[in-house]
Every structure is written in structure tokens, then in C-alpha cells.
Amino acid sequence: MCGELQAYFSIFFIIYIREHVSSKCTTVLQYHVMTQPADPHNFLEGEGDIELSYTTYPDHDHAVDPRKTPLIFAHGLFGGKGNLHSVSKHLSNEGRKVITYDARNHGDSQHSSDFNFSCMADDLSDLIDDLRLIQPFVMGHSMGGKTAMMFALTKPEKLKALIVGDVTPSKSPGGEALLSYAQAMKAVEISKDANLSLARRQAKLQLAPTVPDKNLLNFLLTNLKQAEDGQVRWRNNLDAFINNFDDIMDFLPPEGATFTKPTLFVFGEKSQHYSPQGVEKVKTLFPQAEIVSIKDAGHFVHAEKPLEFVKVVQDFCDGLDASG
């Protein structure tokens, strides 16, 4: 898993830099579900409505085709809606409406001490309601895939089909590395008067012993942001992940639940998540699942083989739209 993480973050950091620079010219629509922008100070203890930040595709150069079912796409741990930009843009180029969003405790969305797949499935359900989507396709990768699976198992009437990127309904491998990154990030000390550039240099020096891979380290540093009060902080709610680590690494489906609508699982052929035991659990909970593996890809299949990933997803969605 550690090797897969390093390979992905090496790829993603290059993508992030390219798209972050070009995003100034992008016309995709970005919104917040509620009225106030999310901030680490905007923190909920216990249950409550969560403010989510989301982005809608296609851009103004492409019209939405009402014949195509919208697709909502959930990211993985330590990620955000921004690192789904390339895939989402390609998926929307032929008129399909695509929505990406920051999960609770990530990106520009609100923080909460509650952090598990039940509450994240509820967040997804509320977002679909707020956007007035009628039975969209729901897709997620890794943590987002588990959120999508929980949503499908608990609210099957609210989606047309499920798409899951390289994760199974079981305990994820290699979680100890993720936990060590979160603990190291939490321990970082940043000067109160530091601007974003200085804060990243300070954090980089402190994280380097735990995260020796430079691309991985640079990716983690993109989660630093300057808040309205001028203080630089992590976008991620690290306490929530550390305190709920076992819940996020595992997956406990509702007893007796299955999802019998069309389902697609896309694995990287080299991923540790792609195993006979994992596939068997997929077939038990999702009996209609079509299982595809992409050659020469690991866990981050959408970043490592984006064109192949997009084609598999497009063919699946287009086929369902054509069949009515």
C-alpha cells in the first residue's frame, strides 16, 4: 500500500500543479451547498447538517445533455474534489453533468467530530437532494467508494447505478501508513504570522522524517490553507480521522442489505484491493456487479490510467442511458 500511495501521489502532484495553474481560466461552476464558506473554525460536534463544497461540470463550452443521467463523484482520503478534475472534465465533455464534492473533514467542506460511512452516506444523500438530482449515477474512489457503497445499500431508491473505484466492502490494506501521516501532520507547528509559503516550508521540514517521498510530501502540503483570520491550517480534520481510524479503514454493511441495481467495480490490476476475497464480498453485497480490472494500474486507477478509466465508466453509463 505504501508503494501504491507513493506512485499515486507522484502522479497526482504533477496533475495538481498543472491544473492548479490552469484553473484560473476554467469556467466550471463551483458552489457551496449552504450559505457560508466552510472553514476549520466552522466545526460541528456530533450530529448535524454538514456544509459541503462542490463543483459542477461541464464548463460553459459544453452544454448539458438532458438525456444523460448526471453523475456524482466522491474522492478518497486526504483528497478533494480538485484531484478529480481531469476525469470529471472528460466524463462531462459529451454533455453528462458531473458533480464532484469535498467530503466532510476535507477540502473546503465543513468539519465534524463524526466521521464514518453512515454519516458520509447521509451527506451524499443530502447533497443529491439539495442539487435536485433524480436517481443519478453515484461513483466513488477508495474512501469515496465506501461512501458510495454505503449510500447504495441504505438508500437504493436514490440512485440509478453504482460505480466503485478500486475498493471492496471490507477492511482496507495499509492503513497504518495513512495513520502515521495524519499523526505527523497534526504535530506540525506553524508560526502564527506565517504566510502560506512560509507555512509550507515549515511543515515540509517537520514532515520529511515521516514522509521521505518528496512528491507524497508535496501533495500533503497542498492541504494547507490560509483561513480568514490569516492563520495557516490544515484543510483536513486530522483529529476526526485519527479518532475514527478503525471505522474509516473498515466497512460494516447493514445486516442483510444488498444492492441489486446495475453496478460497476473498476480495479487496478496491480492493486492490493483487487483480491479473490474482496471480489467475493463484492458479489455477495452487489450481485449485479460487473467487475473490470485495468492493466498496469494500482489502487489509484483513475489517476494512473485516466483514459482507460474514463472509457470504462463512459461505456457503462452510456449503455444504461441507451437502455432506458
The number of domains in the chain is 1
- CATH code: domain of residue 290: 3.40.50.1820
Q: Order the strands of the 161-165 sheet from edge to edge.
A: 29-32, 53-57, 98-101, 71-74, 137-141, 161-165, 263-268, 289-294
Residue 175 has a pLDDT of: 80
Q: Which residues contact 299 (CB under 8 A, 6 or more apart)?
A: 1, 4, 5, 8, 142, 166, 268, 271, 272, 273
CA atoms within 13 A on the CB side of 264: 25
Distance CA 295, CA 12 (A): 19
CA neighbor of 114 nearest in space, from 50, 35, 38: 50
Instruction: Pick the catalytic residue from 88, 92, 142, 271.
Output: 142
Instruction: Pick the catalytic residue from 39, 126, 239, 250.
Output: 239
Identify whether 224 is part of a domain: no
Task: Name the stretches of the chain with pLDDT < 70.
Answer: 1-48
Q: In a 10 Å sphere around its CB, with 0-12 CB exposed, 13-18 middle and 19+ buried, how is residue 48 labelled?
A: exposed
- Range of the structural domain that residue 297 is part of: 28-173+260-323
Identify whether 80 is part of a domain: yes
C-alpha cell at 83: 484531484
Identify whether 202 is part of a domain: no
Distance CA 104, CA 114 (A): 9
Identify whether 317 is part of a domain: yes
- pLDDT tens-digit profile of 62-90? 789 999 999 999 999 988 999 899 999 99
Identify whether 78 is part of a domain: yes
Residue 48 has a pLDDT of: 60
- Between CA 134 and CA 30, with CA 33 as vertex, the angle to 5 degrees is 95
Residue 300 has a pLDDT of: 86
Active site residue 239: yes
Phi-psi region of 105 (alpha: psi -120 to 50; beta: other; left: phi over 0): left
For 125, other C-beta atoms within 10 Å of its C-beta total 16
Pair 175, 250: CB distance under 8 Å: no
Identify whether 250 is part of a domain: no
Identify whether 190 is part of a domain: no
- pLDDT tens-digit profile of 199-232? 999 999 999 999 988 888 888 898 999 988 899 9
Active site residue 321: no
Q: Return the SS3 of 271.
A: coil
Pair 99, 73: CB distance under 8 Å: yes
Torsion sign across C-alpha atoms 139, 35, 24, 59: positive
Residue 190 has a pLDDT of: 96
Instruction: Pick the catalytic residue from 75, 90, 141, 299.
Output: 299
